[in-house]
Amino acid sequence: MRDLTDLGLAAIRDGVAGGDFTATEVAGAFNAAVAEANPALNAFIVTTPDHALAAAARVDAARAAGQPLGPLAGVPIGMKDLFATQGVQTTAASHILEGFIPPYESTVSQKLWDAGAGMLGKLNLDQFAMGSSNETSAFGNVISPWRAEGETAMRAPGGSSGGSSAAVAARIVAAATGTDTGGSIRQPAAFTGIAGIKPTYGRCSRWGIVAFASSLDQAGPMARDVTDCAIMLEAMAGFDPKDSTSLDLPVPAWSAGLTDDLRGLKVGIPREYRIDGLNADVAKSWDDGIAWLKDAGASVVDISLPHTRYALPTYYIIAPAEASSNLARYDGVRYGLRDLPDHAGLQDMYAATRAAGFGAEVKRRIMIGTYVLSAGFYDAYYTQAQKVRTLIARDFDAAFGEVDVILTPTAPSAAFVLGQKSDDPLEMYLNDVFSVPASLAGLPAMSVPAGLDRSGLPLGLHLIGRAFDEQGVLNAGLAIERRAGFAARPGRWW
């Protein structure tokens, strides 16, 4: 029999609906693949084979009874451990939430279950989604399934959605959820040769997602190809009165609207993204992307986004500021860990719990955030950063007066070796140089696989669209995907 784990989301859905195999067979195949690979990859913090099997049994029973099937019926997925899942431990990969079992389900995960998907487990991530390599998790590093040619060194799967990217690339899940605050769907997708889209801010409800930086956080799908992303995003998106920043707009039929005919489309190439010393393989893949989009009928226009160079410092003020406020709730009273030294008072309990519960990167962000929000420095840092954020958004407004979509590399390099950047936070933050501007402006953006670099590691191309124009981003992504013909897979060493 064919290996069902070779199938992506659309193929599984269609095969289950058409009776080629049962949802229970699919769930069984993926559960077995997870059990086999996870000791090596550490992509999951907890596995939930029974959740996947129960969802599959419901789908098989519905089909037998002739009832209509949901758009994700029979598809087993991985859930980033930032989404609250009722009755299943939710940790944000932090010791401070270890043992926390939410009594409620996040809106996005509930929508996915309602669409007929099942959960294989909770995926590892950078602690509180802070990081670019999945090395800040309290539950250990995720190991990328990819290795450079002729090497055995362990590579980063990207971050923060590193469990998601590793699991999709290793084909132990059909697709996965991610979240993206400054690049956490797109950079890990690029590092592992998969597709991922961050929709317009507000498309997916944030309700029940552990908050990092609320004005930036967005959920989105990570999957093997653009079509699977479009189908899954349709199931995840939609207005939610429980999230005050949720967009009250209908969800377009993105998958039905997919086309790689880009005639009449204008693609902007921002000259400021040609950073000094840009990696030669990355530059070459960017040129390939330009040629593919032209081949699909688009015209290419040189554009300027002059405030891009301030995007990283702006992000690394705003994101920690919001994080320091959001993470104030982890005080040992309400959730997870409580460290109560003998004869301690309330303040001592707060301090002991937070000292023991948060990892080093999380503490660094809380300290930076508290500093930039403090009375003496608020105007110099936080207010200033908010003003620059507006200028960055205006750059995009002006560019989208001229072009329909913007093409850049997703990340400045292919996946690096674990440990290579973990001692130097600034070096790590530079990973986000191409992804952060779209986050600050709230725009939809996606990464699609573009090829391999000279050492055999995947590179991604990054498409940024107008607010609400996920369709334009997906279509340009599809045009690249079809022309790149990316079929490489990591060799199986686990």
How far apart, in whole angstroms, are the C-alpha atoms of residue 168 and residue 187?
14
- Site mask for ligand GLN (CB under 6 A), range 267-306, x = bound: ----------------------------------------
The least CB distance from residue 213 to ligand GLN, in Å, is 8
**Is 322 a residue that touches ligand GLN (CB under 6 A)?**
no
End-to-end Cα, the chain, rounded Å: 22
Nearer to ligand GLN, 311 or 452 (CB): 311
Reduce the DSSP state of residue 448 to 3 states and report it: strand
Catalytic residue among 164, 184, 205, 422: 184
Residues whose CB falls within 8 Å of the CB of residue 299, separated by 6 or more in sequence, listed in order: 265, 266, 267
**Is 184 a residue that touches ligand GLN (CB under 6 A)?**
yes
Q: For ligand GLN, which residue of 160, 205, 285, 447 counts as binding (CB under 6 A)?
A: 160
Reduce the DSSP state of residue 178 to 3 states and report it: strand
Stretch that binds ligand GLN, among 182-190, 238-246, 301-309, 351-359 (CB under 6 A): 182-190
374 belongs to the catalytic site: no
Q: For ligand GLN, which residue of 118, 131, 289, 458 counts as binding (CB under 6 A)?
A: 131
**Is 413 a residue that touches ligand GLN (CB under 6 A)?**
no
How far apart, in whole angstroms, are the C-alpha atoms of residue 135 and residue 143?
10
Q: Which stretches within 416-484 are classed as H helix? A: 425-429, 436-441, 470-484
Q: For ligand GLN, which residue of 132, 177, 285, 314 counts as binding (CB under 6 A)?
A: 132
Residue number closest to ligand GLN, CB atom: 184
Q: For ligand GLN, which residue of 60, 81, 180, 453 counts as binding (CB under 6 A)?
A: 180
The least CB distance from residue 375 to ligand GLN, in Å, is 25
Catalytic residue among 80, 111, 122, 421: 80
- Token duo for residue 115: 């669409």
Distance of CA 362 to the CA centre of its chain: 19
**Is 403 a residue that touches ligand GLN (CB under 6 A)?**
no
Catalytic residue among 94, 160, 164, 246: 160
- Site mask for ligand GLN (CB under 6 A), range 415-454, x = bound: -----------------x----------------------
How far apart, in whole angstroms, are the C-alpha atoms of residue 284 and residue 40?
33
94 belongs to the catalytic site: no
Residues in the interface with ligand GLN (CB under 6 A) total 13
The least CB distance from residue 129 to ligand GLN, in Å, is 4
How far apart, in whole angstroms, are the C-alpha atoms of residue 309 and residue 133?
23
The least CB distance from residue 178 to ligand GLN, in Å, is 9
**Is 130 a residue that touches ligand GLN (CB under 6 A)?**
yes
Q: 């084979």: which residue's tokens?
A: 49
184 belongs to the catalytic site: yes
Q: Which stretches within 178-257 are classed as H helix? A: 186-192, 226-236
Measured torsion, CA atoms of residues 360, 364, 370, 373, in degrees rounded to the nearest 10? -150
54-87 burial, b for 16+ CB within 10 Å, e for fewer? bbbebbbebbeeeeebbbbbbbbbbbbbbbbbee
Q: Which residues are catalytic?
A: 80, 160, 184
Give the interface with ligand GLN as residue ranges (CB under 6 A): 129-132, 160, 180-184, 212, 319, 432
